[in-house]
Amino acid sequence: MKIFYPFLTATCLLVTHANAQQALPLYTPGHEEMMLRYKKAAILDSVSRNTVFKSSVNPNWQHKEAFWYCNVLKDSVREYVYVDAGKAVKRPAFDADKMAAGLQAATGKTFDASRLKISRMDYSTDGKQLSFELDKQYFVCTLPAYICRKADTLSFRSAGRTGFQRKSSRWESFETASQSPDGSWEAVIKEGNVLIRNKATGAEQQYTTDGTQEKPYGSIAWASDSRYLVCYHIAPAVDTAVYYVLTSVAGTKRGQLRSQPYKQPGDPFTTYEMFVCSVGEKAARKINTPVIDFFEAPALHWRKNDSRYFLFERIARGHQQFTVTEVDIQTGNTRNVLEEKTNTFIYESRLFTSYLAQSDEMIMTSERDGWQHLYLINTLTGSNKQITKGEWVVRSVDSVDAVKREIWFSASGRNKGEDPYNVHYYRIAFDGTKLMDLTPAPGNHTVLFSPGKAYFLDTYSQINVPAVTELHATGSGKTVLALEQADISLFLSKGVRLPEPFHAKGRDGVTDIYGILCRPADFDSSKAYPLIEYIYAGPQDAFVPKSFLSSLSEMQSLAALGFMVVQIDGMGTANRSKAFHDVCWKNLADGGFPDRILWMKALAGKYSYIDTTRVGVYGTSAGGQNALGALLFHPEFYKAAVAACGCHDNRVDKQWWNEQWMGYPVGKHYEEQSNVTNAYRLQGELMLVVGEADTNVPPESTYRVADALIKAGKTFEFLPVPGLGHSDGGPYGKIRKRDFFVQHLLNTLPPKRNQNELKQTH
């Protein structure tokens, strides 16, 4: 795949624009029609509430083979379902009419049998009693007579449920005191130095003397056999503060100054110098490894039968090098078991590692062959074997079974003929054999395992295909029961038009770019409608929704006003190949715009009613940065933008996010790609939105853009929202955004809100 990703090249790729197909009359509604459209949009803002049923199953496992769940139906009617997985039986959890009668007899109150709100429930082992919590009261009912009584407390046996788990952090937390695993010793930090206390005698041995309050020892960790203690000489870095003013705090007469520590790109990190204390010796021994100057002290992984050795991980600042290092405590020497380097970046938060001390192995993910895959590493020799292969991406790892030598993971892109972002779940052996697709049905899948993982619930859907939930046997993957299929009949009766998935070639002419289109339900194909892109090009993920209901948001209500609304994942976002992702490297201003523009032109080539001479864009946070960037760097295509809480200058935003993609040290490319630096380029119509209490992206990021625009003599709308945090402007911001696009893309007057022309839509 050929990629063009230097910032200036990407900016100049698409310098002309003409809609050759444009022959239809423009859709430009009159004011009265526009008012009707606003009313439709207001209805769609909440249309999915209480109109889509049975779209998911929330299992409450009683034991390893049985669970119950509740379906909330039209008019808040509730049905309770009991499933015996072992017998492949699904039935009503109880007789609702008899239950209501039994409760009335026990309490003297009337209960609606169709709307019992049970929050917890448990069957006795013999199935003859049902205990549950209803409206914050406990009850026990004898079955099948439904003789009920109140109870003071209940002991529920619910075994819970598990989805795919987050990996544990590779970084340790600070500790100032710690007991050894065998309970014999206690490590204590006193006046910045390390002491080990014999818990039986109270005798203490001081191991360090150069620790101070300003530069203490800490972050201590014991070996599993209690013979060694690892500690660090720490040089803390104090993060400087960012400030903001709350202008309208109740009960005050002055603006209230607030601040928070905030690490920005280039700011220093606390450093950690590694030492080891051996029980019985009198001084700490320095480990022969460079000072750790990025992130916190690492988690330690000890050899199973020899605590002389442990492993730790390290990410070099700049995210271009990852190492797994072995420490020999007796000599203080180290060796790198594994070293990964890249010319672009290693995505640290997607890097999975699992240490198998019993066999001196580790499982890890790597993009070394151009795709995120699983590898088996021998931690004694450093030799490695690739477990998964192909032009697809491992998305997450649920668990590693060291006994069965199996890995449970999710991935996307492996199932040919599907959207490559659809998530499926798999199991594979350490040697790369016995790969099983647990969720082969087309769609985007979510899995919940039973306790013990003998069964799992699979819920899958597509953006325009309602959800199905099935119960499967994990060992074979076979379907045990079809549990539910979403009912969307009421939803469709409200006048909703489902989104359409669409893909087109990107800037290289080879790679498919994926997105969705939302239309007005009543659009007229004989007229040309303006186009609005909802944008978020943050490289940390992909953002176009893949599951049913996930797009039922502002996109569809905005479309109801008379727009074609799209969302696209361009190059530079995650979950595709390494080359696809690398486009963002030191190049956030690219934003995938060359791909996005080609995608929208291809869409207009398919549908003549899409007008690419009237294109708007909106986004929040990184999407706010992108929305303004669209006007600054691609004014030939984008004509109007609403940019909310944007990280408009990557030097002003948070360190962890920006150095991951823009690199370290902070170079000239940070300045060259800043929306502040490039504000003078503005040609289209712009609205800037910012919450004055934004603790995610400093409000000053937006204010600096406003300052630069003013100095450049540009006109724009500016909406600061008192008291609001990191958001798109809240309900009022959404109103102003809609009015902005109606005015500038439809050339129609929005409601006269000060005259209460459309009061009911607020």
- With contact defined as beta carbons under 8 Å apart, do 564 and 531 qualify? yes
Tell me the average pLDDT across 651-679: 97
> Mean pLDDT throughout 550-577?
92
Average of pLDDT values for 418-432?
98
User: What is the helix (H) or strand (E) element at residue 142, kind and residue range?
Assistant: strand 137-142
Q: What is the pLDDT of residue 177?
A: 62
Residues 328 and 238 placed together within one structural domain of the fold: yes
Residues in the chain: 762
Q: Is residue 619 part of a domain?
A: yes
Q: Tell me the average pLDDT across 410-433.
A: 97
Judge if 211 and 305 occupy the same domain.
yes
Average pLDDT over residues 417-439: 97
Mean pLDDT, residues 241-263:
95
**555 phi, psi to nearest 5 deg:** -60, -45
Q: DSSP letter for 474, please.
A: T
Mean pLDDT of 643-671: 97
53 in a structural domain: no
627 within domain boundaries: yes
Rounded to 5°, the CA angle 411-414-416 comes to: 145
Mean pLDDT on 629-639: 98
Contact in structure between 363 and 353 (CB atoms under 8 Å): yes
**Better-predicted residue by pLDDT, 4 or 506:** 506
The yes-or-no verdict on residue 527 having pLDDT over 80 is yes
Element (H, E) at 147: strand 147-151
Neighbours of 656 (CB within 10 A): 13
553: nearest Cα among 571, 536, 538: 536
Condensed to tens digits (0 to 9), the pLDDT of residues 476-493 reads 999 999 999 999 999 888
- CB contact at 8 A, 35 and 42: no
Cβ atoms of 374 and 387 closer than 8 Å: yes
Domain end point (choices 351, 370, 386) = 351
For 364, residues 6+ apart whose C-beta sits below 8 A from its C-beta are 338, 351, 352, 353, 354, 374, 375, 377
Contacts of 283 by beta carbon, 8 Å cutoff, 6+ apart: 207, 208
The answer to whether residues 722 and 635 belong to one domain is: yes
- Region 221-232: mean pLDDT is 94
Q: What is the Cα gyration radius of the chain?
A: 30
The answer to whether residues 629 and 641 touch, using CB atoms and an 8 Å cutoff, is no
List Cα–Cα distances, 618 to 708, 732, 740, 746, in angstroms. 20, 15, 11, 16
What residues make up the domain containing 296? 168-351
Q: Which amino acid is at 289?
A: T
Q: What's the pLDDT at 496?
A: 86
pLDDT band at 761 (very low <50, low <70, confident <90, very high): very low
In angstroms, the CA 166 to CA 159 distance is 20
Q: What six digits make up the tokens of 406?
A: 């199996």
What are the beta bridge partners of residue 26? Answer: 528
Q: What is the CATH number of the domain that holds 557?
A: 3.40.50.1820
Give the mean pLDDT of 240-248.
95
Indicate whether 567 and 694 sit together in one domain.
yes
pLDDT at 512: 98
Q: In the predicted model, what is the mean pLDDT of residues 196-216?
A: 96
The residues, any chain, with a CB within 8 Å of residue 644's CB and separated by 6 or more, are 618, 619, 620, 621, 623, 624, 627, 688, 689, 690, 727, 728, 729, 733
**What is residue 47's predicted lDDT score, i.e. its pLDDT?**
80
Q: Residue 419 above 90 pLDDT?
A: yes
DSSP 3-state of 389: coil
What CA–CA distance (Å, rounded) separates 362 from 423? 25
pLDDT of residue 3: 40
Distances (CA, A) of 73 to 49, 54, 66: 11, 8, 23
Residue 305 binned pLDDT confidence (cut-offs 50, 70, 90): confident
Q: What is the pLDDT of residue 179?
A: 92
Residues 183, 139 within the same domain? no
Residues 82 and 187 in one domain: no
CA distance 351 to 742: 44
Candidates 417, 580, 552; CA nearest to 488 is: 552
What percent of the chain clears pLDDT 90, i.e. is strictly above it? 87
pLDDT of residue 12: 35
The answer as to whether 44 is a domain residue is no
For 582-606, what is each residue's pLDDT tens digit?
A: 999 999 999 999 999 999 999 999 9
pLDDT bracket for residue 8 (50, 70, 90): very low
CA distance 500 to 639: 24
Residue 130 to residue 94: CA distance in whole angstroms:
9
Q: How far is CA 388 from CA 76, 126, 322, 725, 748, in A?
A: 46, 46, 20, 43, 55
Q: Mark which of 351, 366, 396 sits at the end of a domain.
A: 351
Residues 173, 295 within the same domain: yes
Answer for the pair 571, 507: CB distance below 8 angstroms, yes or no. Answer: yes
Cβ partners under 8 Å of residue 635, min gap 6: 681, 682, 683, 684
pLDDT 10s digits, 327-369: 999 999 999 999 999 999 999 999 999 999 999 999 999 999 9
Report pLDDT for 758. Answer: 77
Full 3-state SS string of 32-90: HHHHHHHHHHHHHCCCCCCCCECCCCCCEEEECCEEEEEEECHHHCEEEEEEECCCCEE
Q: Give the model's pLDDT for residue 377.
A: 98
Among 303, 332, 351, where does a domain finish? Answer: 351
Is 163 a residue whose pLDDT tops 80?
no
CA distance 114 to 62: 23
Compute the Cα dihedral for 256, 262, 265, 268 and give only its sign.
positive
Residues 551 and 627 in one domain: yes
Q: How far is the C-alpha of 640 from the C-alpha of 18, rounded, in Å?
A: 17
> Does residue 99 sit in the same domain as residue 186?
no
Treating both helix axes as pointing N-terminal to C-terminal, what angle do 31-44 and 730-745 enclose, rounded to 10 degrees? 140
Residues 90 and 178 in one domain: no
Q: Residue 10 pLDDT > 70, yes or no? A: no
Q: Mean pLDDT, to the nearest integer, of 164-192? A: 76
In the structure, what pLDDT confidence band is assigned to residue 43 with cuts at 50, 70 and 90? confident
CA-to-CA separations, 586 to 7, 572, 653, in angstroms, rounded: 8, 11, 15
Mean pLDDT, range 159-171, rounded to an integer: 55
- pLDDT 10s digits, 698-722: 999 999 999 999 999 999 999 999 9
Round to whole Å and give the CA distance between 137 and 413: 48
Please give the share of the chain, as a percent, with pLDDT higher than 70. 93
Are residues 146 and 263 both part of a single domain? Answer: no
Burial class (CB within 10 angstroms; exposed 0-12, middle 13-18, buried 19+) of 276: buried
Q: What pTM does this model have?
A: 0.92
- pLDDT (tens digit, 9 = 90+) per residue, 81-102? 999 999 999 999 999 999 999 9
Largest CA distance in the chain: 93
Amino acid identity for residue 554 in this structure? E
Is residue 52 included in any domain, yes or no? no
Give the residue, 494 or 527, on which the prediction is more confident. 527
Q: Given the structure tokens 């700049």, which residue do they identify?
A: 318
Q: What is the mean pLDDT of the chain?
A: 92
Whether the Cβ atoms of residue 532 and residue 516 lie closer than 8 Å to each other: no
Assign 46 a pLDDT band (cuts: 50, 70, 90).
confident
Task: Describe the strand order of the beta sheet including 78-84 as a list of residue ranges.
Answer: 60-63, 66-72, 78-84, 89-92
Distance of CA 576 to the CA centre of its chain: 16
Residue with tokens 């903001």: 244
Domain holding 281: CATH number?
2.140.10.30
pLDDT at 386 over 80: yes
202 assigned to some structural domain = yes
The answer to whether residue 541 is domain-embedded is yes
Written as six digits, the tokens of 111 are 């209960």
SS3 assignment, position 213: coil
Question: Looking at the predicted structure, is the pLDDT value of residue 494 above 90?
Answer: no
635 to each of 50, 614, 642, 688, how far by Cα in Å? 42, 11, 14, 17
* pLDDT band of 22, cuts 50, 70, 90: very low
Residue 504 has pLDDT above 60, yes or no: yes
- pLDDT value of position 18: 44
252 pLDDT higher than 60: yes
| 206 and 65 housed in the same domain | no
Q: Is the Cα dihedral 658, 661, 663, 668 positive or negative? A: negative
Structural domain includes residue 725: yes
The structure tokens listed for 175 are: 């500790």
Question: Is the omega angle on the peptide bond into residue 520 within 30 degrees of 0, that is, cis?
Answer: no
pLDDT bin (cut points 50, 70, 90) of residue 244 is very high
Count up the domains in the chain and report the number: 3
